[in-house]
Amino acid sequence: MRLPGWASFALSSLLFSSLLTGAVRPRYGGTLTVELSNAWTTLDPNSFKTALSVPIAETLVRVGSHGEIEPVLVVAWQHDPDFRRWRFSLRPRVTFHDGEALTAATAAPPLLAALKQTYSDVSIEAGGQAIVVHSDHAMPELLAELALPRAAVFRKSDTNALIGTGPFRVTTWDPGRRLTLAAFDNYWGGRPYLDSVEIEFGSGHGRADLFDIPVGPARRILPESLATWSSAPRALLAITSTNADPVLLQALALLIDRVPILNVLAQHKGEVAFGLLPQWLSGYAFLFQSTPDVMHAKQLVSSLRLGPTSLSYPADDLFLRSVAERIALNARDAGITIQPTSAGNGHLRLMEWPLESTDAANELGRIAEQLGASDRARQLDAAKPETLYQVERSLLDDHRIIPLIHVRETYGIAPRVHFQSPTSDPFTLHLEDAWVQP
């Protein structure tokens, strides 16, 4: 007998929890094989936007599972009252994979490049194990910025190989096809359990120890013994437009039935989205919740002289294609002709917005920037949670974006694979916590 989706999810989580409660003691050694459906073409930390963490390079700090900032490569930091000057103390005895010690001088260049993307006038002073960050403008979100993957500290070798300070080092790298990692014995946090990790991209056989289960209607038959792990919703599926009539988007937001999209097309891997940030991240997403109102949508578009409207989706994404077709079907109920297209120049765009961090303000600000609403981004104040709701509300009222669902990432995990504490971070699955039974 096959269980419903929610029951399978609950059972797999329960099984997974039992694996980490100490029923089996962790052991060192072994190789973990991984299959990922999306092919990586670069190891740039900024491009890692999956729930599976591949810890080659590390950031100075990170956002914990409850939103708190945790130190990684630093052990302490201070800032002046107006957040213009920050001083960080680097963790001692941290070395890169090639044995070079982590110093302020080696950490400063990649940090400066990352921070320049947000703070144009930022400057960094490096001295010994201390890094001082200056700016003429206040940088209250500096820690969140430093927690982003793009702010990872790394170097590149003469052969352009990535050299970080993380628990795994790169041994072979065939872009788009294969990545092999080896345990970094001198990792400052202690050697990881695994000896090595072999990652294959785009194979999709499901025979590896760990593999991702892409969201979408294509149902993969999984062995009964296989455990799964699903992240917290960490990508927003939404419709955006910069040139369509806002009334059209308002009508579409009213008539699109999100529940079937989530339950059927996304196979329950996520949550219906009426807001930009997921409920777990913002805490107020339920305030935007509504039900489809086709009649109201019809009234809205009745005064419009609408021609066929194209809705573009990524050409190779079958899930987004099925969502686009469903939206077109819903739109037809209101007399709106939507033509799904894989060409990239549609009036409307269906796209996924992956969350990069667990910092709500940072993520909302990033969405606002991408929507061309920088002014709203500047209104965000992490210290004032109400500004998040106000900014998100105003962004939604602009009718430039229609949130549809927030999508989880799901991974299949072989029975021999165990994680030290998989549920401690619902946002990320840490490879350094994994170990395998022989």
Residue 267 in the binding site for another protein (CB under 8 A): yes
Distance in Å, CB of 295 to another protein, minimum: 18
Say if residues 193 and 184 touch (Cβ distance below 8 Å).
no
Q: What does the DSSP assignment read for 151-167?
A: G-B-EE-TT--EE-SSS
Residue 204 in the binding site for another protein (CB under 8 A): no
Count CB neighbours of 34 within 10 A.
Answer: 22
| Binding window for another protein (CB under 8 A); candidates: 21-29, 58-66, 323-331, 367-375 | 323-331
Residue 265 in the binding site for another protein (CB under 8 A): yes
Per-residue b or e along 210-248, where b marks 16 or more CB atoms closer than 10 Å to that residue's CB: bbbbbbbeeeeeeeeeebbbbbbbbbbbbbbbeebbeeb
| Binding window for another protein (CB under 8 A); candidates: 62-70, 232-240, 318-326, 377-385 | 318-326
User: How many residues bind to another protein according to rule CB under 8 A?
Assistant: 20
Distance in Å, CB of 263 to another protein, minimum: 5
Please, which residues have CB within 8 angstroms of residue 247's CB and are 6 or more apart in sequence? 300, 301, 303, 304, 399
Residue 293 in the binding site for another protein (CB under 8 A): no
Distance separating alpha carbons of residues 234 and 251, to the nearest angstrom = 26
Please, which residues have CB within 8 angstroms of residue 296's CB and are 6 or more apart in sequence? 251, 254
Give the amino acid at 129: Q
Which of 110, 233, 340, 412 is in the footprint of another protein by CB under 8 A? 340
Give whichever of 257 and 369 is closer to another protein, judged by the CB atom. Answer: 257
Residue 307 in the binding site for another protein (CB under 8 A): no
Residue 292 in the binding site for another protein (CB under 8 A): no
Give whichever of 165 and 330 is closer to another protein, judged by the CB atom. Answer: 330
Give whichever of 148 and 265 is closer to another protein, judged by the CB atom. Answer: 265
| Binding window for another protein (CB under 8 A); candidates: 51-59, 169-177, 260-268, 273-281 | 260-268
Per-residue b or e along 78-96, where b marks 16 or more CB atoms closer than 10 Å to that residue's CB: ebeeeebebbbbbbeebeb
Say if residues 414 and 392 touch (Cβ distance below 8 Å).
no
Residue 11 in the binding site for another protein (CB under 8 A): no
Distance in Å, CB of 329 to another protein, minimum: 5
Q: Distances in Å between the alpha carbon of 138 and those of 69, 79, 266, 373, 381?
A: 19, 10, 41, 20, 12
Residue pointed to by tokens 């990790």: 197
Binding marks (x or -) toward another protein, 60..89, rule CB under 8 A?
------------------------------
Would you tell me which residues interact with another protein (CB under 8 A)?
2, 4-6, 217-219, 257, 260, 263-265, 267-268, 322, 325-326, 328-329, 340
